[in-house]
Amino acid sequence: MGSLMGDFEEELQEVRDTFNSGKTREISWRKSQLQAILSLLKERESDIFKALNQDLGKHHVEAFRDEIGTVAKSAKYALGNLNKWTASKRVKLPLAAFPGTAKLVHEPLGVVLIISSWNFPFGLSFEPIIGAIAAGNTIILKPSELSPACSSVLVKTIHDYLDNSAIKVIEGGASVGEKLLQHNFDKIFFTGGGRVAQIVMAAAAKNLTPVTLELGGKCPAVVDFISSTWDRKVGSILIAMKRIIWGKFGACGGQACIGIDYILTQKKFAPTLVELLKKYIKKSLGDNPMESNSIAKIINNKHFSRLKGHLDEPLVKSSIVFGGSSNEEKLFIEPTILLDPPLDSAIMTEEIFGPLLPIITLENIEDSIEFIRARPKPLSVYGFTNNEKLQKRMISETSSGSITFNDAIIQYAVDTLPFGGVGGSGFGRYHGKYSFENFSHQKAVMMRGYLIDFGFRYPPWNNKKLQLLKSGLRYDYVKLVFIKIGLIKKA
């Protein structure tokens, strides 16, 4: 192995040369690569299913819903909108700039580094790749080492389907990530945890490289039964329970950045909520969830022990009201509900990232606003309520990447909404047009003509010029002249 700077030099030089050749700026190239992603997803579907099952125990229906289907939808959306997104946009100029025109032109940033996570190995790699391709960049992708089967399918399929002079996958863990970060990129797009995000940002600072950080945190779900109207409608309760259970356990077994982390609800309602959740967990996963193939496994022994450690804390253990069993060999932890575990225990201070659902009870549901505000800003906040007053207060008085009412996780799949965090849950946003913008620079382009010129812009200076400059700033000077000579009417 050569010097540290020497690592991956060749790969980086190749994608930089490709970017400099102008090839990836061609709209036809961008479309061909987006089409190729669609073919890859279709033709290598079974390899993707197999890898997701091997690394994460994901059922192929879940794998299709959360990764293949979602990515294909995004690629199609980008293909359908690419002409519109890439077209330059005329902007208005003040008359003082007459004669002249101005427009915004989206230019690609250059070579981008995408570092992704293991819980949605295809989704979290291809979503930013789609944006980076749509914007005309070349790409180095470093997937997570914790989902090796998926990482290896990413290498093979990207090699087979995409233009390798422009898009390369480099596999490896922290040390490979650190070596990559020593190079100069034009953009770093990182998905992962806050600790590594600090390393990424520090490395990016050396080259003033812009970064997007897609991080996690604790996403609360406010479940309001009392002031709501839907508590009296059995159908709505059924749907709400299904969505809460899915939003907690149904996406990668609770290992999802926008999964429900914990519930806030009214004290007097908590026993009913626990009974309802138990009933619907059994309905969707059967009497013995351990036997169900509809719930993903824990990614590895380290995370299994971390989650088990939460449950083994005595005061947390005594708060378990449902579930709690586990099987280390199968890396399976039963969907578990906990009622009022201590607020200073790890399960309530750290992101859970697993199938453990604490319910925290409050006297009044409005207290949930203060509860959320007192903690780091979540990636998502959920509200299961039809109480408009509470909805309005939650929107305006809490801060989070997104807020969704009466459902969970679904916002991730909406192309017209930006996806990203705020504060500790990250910054920068992507999906749909926001992905295109994330990987573009909006260049201001101005064209001037020589027909009119104002001498007071130029030295030698005198007080008359100062007066003219002051009035020029106060009024649209040309407009006044045009009104005076009758070319335009006074407003």
Binding positions for ligand NAD, rule: CB under 6 A: 115-119, 124, 142, 144-145, 173-174, 177-178, 181, 191-193, 196, 199, 214-216, 257, 351, 353, 379, 426
Please, which residue, 45 or 178, has the CB nearer to ligand NAD? 178
Q: What CA–CA distance (Å, rounded) separates 361 from 219?
A: 16
Among 158, 120, 157, 121, smallest CA distance to 139 is for 158
Assess contact for 398 and 369: CB atoms under 8 A. yes
326: part of which helix (H) or strand (E)? strand 326-327
Please, which residue, 216 or 253, has the CB nearer to ligand NAD? 216
474: part of which helix (H) or strand (E)? helix 463-474
Q: What CA–CA distance (Å, rounded) separates 2 from 199?
A: 23
Which residue has the closest beta carbon to ligand NAD? 216
Work out how close the CB of 435 gets to ligand NAD at its nearest, in angstroms, rounded to a whole number: 12
Q: What CA–CA distance (Å, rounded) separates 219 from 352?
A: 10
Work out how close the CB of 193 gets to ligand NAD at its nearest, in angstroms, rounded to a whole number: 4
> In the numeric block, which tokens belong to residue 66?
């959360």
Please, which residue, 339 or 347, has the CB nearer to ligand NAD? 347
Single out the catalytic residue among 62, 67, 127, 214: 214
Handedness of CA 246, 249, 250, 254 (dihedral sign): positive
Among 347, 248, 259, smallest CA distance to 289 is for 248
Query: Any catalytic annotation for residue 214?
Result: yes
Query: Any catalytic annotation for residue 351?
Result: no
Asked, as a colleague might, if the bond just before 99 is cis with ω within 30 of 0, I would say yes
Work out how close the CB of 379 gets to ligand NAD at its nearest, in angstroms, rounded to a whole number: 6
Work out how close the CB of 419 gets to ligand NAD at its nearest, in angstroms, rounded to a whole number: 7
Work out how close the CB of 169 gets to ligand NAD at its nearest, in angstroms, rounded to a whole number: 12
CB-CB neighbours of 288 under 10 Å: 10
Residue with the two structure tokens 């490979």: 176
Q: What CA–CA distance (Å, rounded) separates 187 from 399?
A: 26
Single out the catalytic residue among 67, 127, 257, 437: 257
Q: What CA–CA distance (Å, rounded) separates 417 from 431?
A: 7
Please, which residue, 195 or 474, has the CB nearer to ligand NAD? 195
Work out how close the CB of 77 gets to ligand NAD at its nearest, in angstroms, rounded to a whole number: 18
Please, which residue, 119 or 411, has the CB nearer to ligand NAD? 119
Please, which residue, 196 or 316, has the CB nearer to ligand NAD? 196
Q: What CA–CA distance (Å, rounded) separates 340 from 358?
A: 7
Which residues have a catalytic role annotated? 214, 257
